[in-house]
Amino acid sequence: MMKWEVKLRKWLMDHIILLAYAAVILLGLFLRYSHLPMLAADLKYMNSSWFEAIKAEGMAGILDPALEYTYSPLHLYVWMLAAALFGKFDTHLVLKAVSLAFEVGLVLATLGLLRTLLPKREQKFQRFLGFTALWLSPVLIWNVAGWGQTDALFAVFAVLAVWMLLKDQPVWGLVWLGVSLAFKLQAIFLLPLFMMAYFCGRKRFSVLWFLLVPGILVVSGFPMVLVGESPLFAVNIYLGQTDLYSEITYNYPNLYAIMGDALKVDQMTLGMYSRVGLVLCVATMGSVAAYMMSKHKQLSDSTMVLLGAWCVLCCVFFLPRMHERYGIVGEVLLLCWAVWLKKPRGLVYALLSLLPILSAYAKYLFQVPFFSLQFGGVMNLVLLCLVSWEVVLALRADDTIEAAENLQETVL
């Protein structure tokens, strides 16, 4: 082997992770570029119309009743900035670019969470695996570059909120959760995690800090006063969203998808099913919270990430009126936990969370799902049961860790 070859070989081995990052980044960018020409109905007929109105008449233009604007005011502010900076470019491209920018933020926030979650000796390669799985995730690629959806806007702040919990900064976590909620209502699925952390987290904080979450939502609507709207504009938007949807499920493979033909009934019966699902959701999470409180648990970082994923999965599985995109934060957190776990079953869980959602995406984007929504619901039921068992195991493991730490302190 020649000298230059020896040096090159050593350099490649010393820098292989950085080179792998570069390769994955380029592959992800190529995949996103190839999806940019896609025009889903939401982007073509809703978001684009709103953005064109902003470019033509500013913030007031989007409030024309004929446009039926239903997004949070934070979306409006972000799009106003994009219109001011890039209004001369193609509308579809600008809207996707905005979501792509927040998607990059989501990936960076996830890397930060993994840095806190993983032991230092495992960070380098494990974080690379997490980055690769997220950056090349077909769900993210279809959601942002293909569909042009805005779920990354709230997901990045939701992940930041969980990251702050791991860093023993729950107040900042509630701030970011409030920002996430001000972008999309589905951020509320993480609120049970913060309630559990209030009782069982390492850092003690006042219950009054929870007021930050609705407070930030309310404050986000204040600028709408400048165009003659109510200062409670953000709240009114969300109240309007709850009345906007009447179907019991909107293409999410959950409990109601499993029921199949049983849902071909009148609205009164559907309302009954919805209330049953709501009670099951509250009872499931409430039972786990009550158990942790009664045992005076102290949650480890990995258990908090797992609980965050579990709370979101519970909400999207049991609650009515769910769209296929609403579990994105839970899917990201479950992926982070699977990377931490470093066992084959973690990969199984990640794949099991991916396939039903991809099939539902394919049904909307291409009108050809991989399999029926009912089968996808069964897969998600299996996933929820498995993750619930992992929660039980994690809580038991936390007991063992806490006992060992107490013994060590006693010896010292």
Angle at 326 between CA 322 and CA 332, to 5 degrees: 150
Q: Which of 46-50, 122-126, 235-239 has the lowest mean pLDDT?
A: 122-126
Q: Is residue 138 part of a domain?
A: yes
Q: Is residue 31 part of a domain?
A: no
Q: Is residue 270 part of a domain?
A: yes
Q: Is residue 354 part of a domain?
A: yes
Could you tell me what percent of the chain has a pLDDT over 70?
95
Q: Is residue 218 part of a domain?
A: yes
Instruction: Provide DSSP, 243-297.
Output: HH--SS-BB--SHHHHHGGGG-S-HHHHHHHHHHHHHHHHHHHHHHHHHHHHTT-
How confident is the model over 172-194, as a mean pLDDT?
A: 96
Query: Binning pLDDT at 50, 70 and 90, where does residue 230 land?
Result: confident
Sequence-ordered list of residues with C-beta below 8 angstroms from that of 164, at least 6 positions apart, any chain: 170, 172, 173, 176
Determine whether 153 is exposed, middle or buried from the number of CB atoms within 10 Å of its CB (0-12, 13-18, 19+): buried
| Cβ(133)–Cβ(339) below 8 Å | yes
Q: Residue 275: which domain range? A: 36-411
Query: Binning pLDDT at 50, 70 and 90, where does residue 10 land?
Result: confident
Q: What is the pLDDT of residue 318?
A: 96
Q: Is residue 115 part of a domain?
A: yes
Q: What is the pLDDT of residue 70?
A: 87
Sequence-ordered list of residues with C-beta below 8 angstroms from that of 275, at least 6 positions apart, any chain: none
Q: Taking the model in full, what pTM does it have?
A: 0.93
Q: Is residue 26 part of a domain?
A: no
Q: Is residue 83 part of a domain?
A: yes
Q: What is the pLDDT of residue 93?
A: 94
Rounded mean pLDDT of the chain?
A: 90
Distance CA 374, CA 20 (A): 39
Distance CA 130, CA 113 (A): 10
Domain count, the chain: 1
SS3 218: helix
Q: What is the pLDDT of residue 402?
A: 52
